Amino acid sequence: MKELTPRQQQVLELLRSFIEERGMPPTRAEIAKALGFRSANAAEDHLRALERKGVIDLCRGTSRGIRLRDSLRVQMGIPLVGRVAAGRPILAEEHIETRYQIDPALFSPRPHYLLQVKGMSMKDAGILDGDLVAVHRTPDIRNRQIVVARLDDEVTVKRYRQVGKQVWLLPENADFEPIEIDLSEQAMVIEGVVVGVLRRDANGKLHG
């Protein structure tokens, strides 16, 4: 496989995660929306570039005619998301600081991105300041799961609880207060469920 640009890697990662979650490839419009492209034509340009590089096959005449090549068994890097801008998709290119070559089999289900934790609000759940949490994006969120929640341009890792329109983002540290949200008055997005934690040792190497 020829070397991919960062943007092409991003499109490819979206294709893989979308197919894993929904059992079918995304449309060009869905790719554009997820990655913040101005139009579906931009998504088409990147797909054609991936086809030329031997990564995917495109089936003309159908909106979901995208097939990943078998050669893609080589693991792609998992993106580390940095500061998130309000109104932008969390996996938009400008949010990705770097990528880590980590075997996704370490986690179940497969993570779509990593996020560095700031602060000690989740220490009693074994999540410390500076840890990287592995996050699986899914619309299926249940009470008591640890989630990545997004409020405007703020992203927080907390335990989730919802009753009707009321949501509580609960810390795992008695020194911190819960965040209470009335969904009828304030917008909130759940950007995924935490499926694992990585921590650096004294030499800077990541361990699960």
Domain that holds residue 43: 6-73
CATH value at residue 166: 2.10.109.10
Q: Is the pLDDT of residue 70 over 70?
A: no
pLDDT for 85-108, tens place per residue?
Answer: 666 667 666 677 887 877 767 888
Look up 2 and say whether it is catalytic: no
Annotated catalytic residue 158:
yes
Closest alpha carbon to 131 in 114, 109, 107, 147: 114
For the entire predicted model, the pTM comes to 0.66
Q: Which residues pair with 168 in a beta bridge?
A: 161, 180
Query: Do 50 and 87 belong to one domain?
Result: no
**pLDDT, greater one: 21 or 81:** 81
Out of 17, 63, 71, 121, pick the active-site residue: 121
How large a percentage of the chain has pLDDT more than 90? 50
Q: Which of 2, 63, 158, 184 is catalytic?
A: 158
Given a contact cutoff of 8 angstroms between Cβ atoms, the answer to whether 137 and 121 are in contact is: no
Residue 1 lies in a domain: no
178-184 LR contacts (CB < 8 Å, sep 24+)? 179/151, 181/151
Average pLDDT over all residues of the chain = 86
* Pair 121, 163 in one domain: yes
Average of pLDDT values for 117-135? 94
| Residue 136 falls inside a structural domain | yes
Cβ atoms 137, 21 nearer than 8 A: yes
